[in-house]
Structure 1
Amino acid sequence: MSTKNLGLRRLRSAAATGLGLGLAAAAFATVATQRHTLDALNERLEHLEIQARNQQQANLAMQQRQHWELLSKAIDDPELAEVLDSYEVPVTVQKRRQYLFANALYTNLLCYHRIGNLTRDEFFKHARGIFQNPIVRDYWYATGHQRASLKGTDEAELGRLIDDLLAQLDDADTEEWWVVGDPCD
């Protein structure tokens, strides 16, 4: 009888081991399938994120193009330019056209930064060159009240960067304007 029981125990043990191995194999297959599904979902998510960034850049480029078209019309037609005249002090037709062009220069620089073509440091260096022109500076000061309404935005932060730069340029006791200021200030 003990031989019979030993054989039965071995059979049960083998069956249990086989069942355990079967369960382990099934669990492994399930985990592998889930891992494959997660990998596929992560890949799809990365693709969608890239698509979203590309779409955002395309939208910014389209908006920049529309902005330039509107400014061009206003620059060419003094009657249309009057619609955009929201400066703190009255300006001549010539000065308004110059301000509109200064706006286009700055907005172009801002757009380049937003779409990632310029780092913050590069934005700062280009701005430092653009704001050497007294007309561009006059435009900046004449539109300060418009920027004051921008709170908590990237544009507001870059506007403060320009304000700080202009203060540093005014206080600098060097003719070497290209070394004045630090974009991290």
Structure 2
Amino acid sequence: MGLRGPVPAAAVGIGMIAGILIGKALHHRELEAVHLRLTRLEQTAHTQRHTNLTSQQRLHWEMLSKAIDDPELAEVLDLYETSVSPKQRRQFLFANAQYTNLLLYYRIGNISREEFFKHVRGFLQNPTVRDYWYATRQQRASLADTDEAELGLMVDDLLRQLEDADTEEWWVVGEPPTDE
């Protein structure tokens, strides 16, 4: 049975509201789909960044290994502030590999900033590592506005605190940063 006469205003209002609600529901679905696609893209980019960092770390280690094994190649990497013996150069290259590995762990999220700090605090107990850190000061100074520069400054500060400490309990020296 068809409607006769004018359609009541309430029916028109209900129809308009229903249309608006359906439109909003469709729009909400589209927004959810876009959000899901963006999340997947971010995850892919994050995974790709980790893959790139890991590949770079592997290449870095391969080059350092060659330099550690071959004194002639090691001379190419000798950018230290003081002259070092071939033995020291190999030790410094290995210290660099250890520190770079720790830095990678932090960058890919395997350890927190606080854990990085605690590992470095132990790392700095070795006199050769301390010598390496001092010998590479100029190289770190060129790393402005990077996470590596920021972490390097944190290590510099920790090393000063360790040297000024009046305690043999090195594991309590310095205040670990809190993770944000």
> TM-score of the superposition, structure 1-length normalised?
0.90
Match of 2:136 in 1: 143
Instruction: Establish whether residue 71 from structure 1 lines up as the match of residue 64 from structure 2.
Output: yes
Kindly indicate which of the two structures has a greater share of residues assigned to helix: 1
CA RMSD across the alignment: 1.5
* Rg larger for: 1
Does residue 103 of structure 2 align to residue 116 of structure 1? Answer: no
Structure with higher RCO (Cα < 8 A, 6+ apart):
2
**Is contact 1:161–1:183 with CA below 8 Å preserved after alignment?**
no
Q: How many residues align?
A: 175
Show the counterpart of 1:12. Answer: 6
Task: State percent identity of aligned pairs.
Answer: 61
Which of 52, 63, 77 does residue 84 from structure 1 map onto? 77
Structure 1's unaligned 5+ residue stretches are 1-9
- TM-score when scaled to structure 2? 0.92
Query: Pick from 102, 105, 113: which aligns with 2:95?
Result: 102
Deviation at 1:13, TM superposition (A): 4.3
Would you say the 8 A contact 1:165–1:181 is kept in 2? yes
Q: Secondary structure at the match of 2:5?
A: helix
What 5-or-longer segments of structure 2 have no aligned partner? none
CA distance in 2, matches of 1:65, 1:142: 24
Distance 2:77 2:38 in 1: 42
Paired AA for residue 116 in structure 1: G
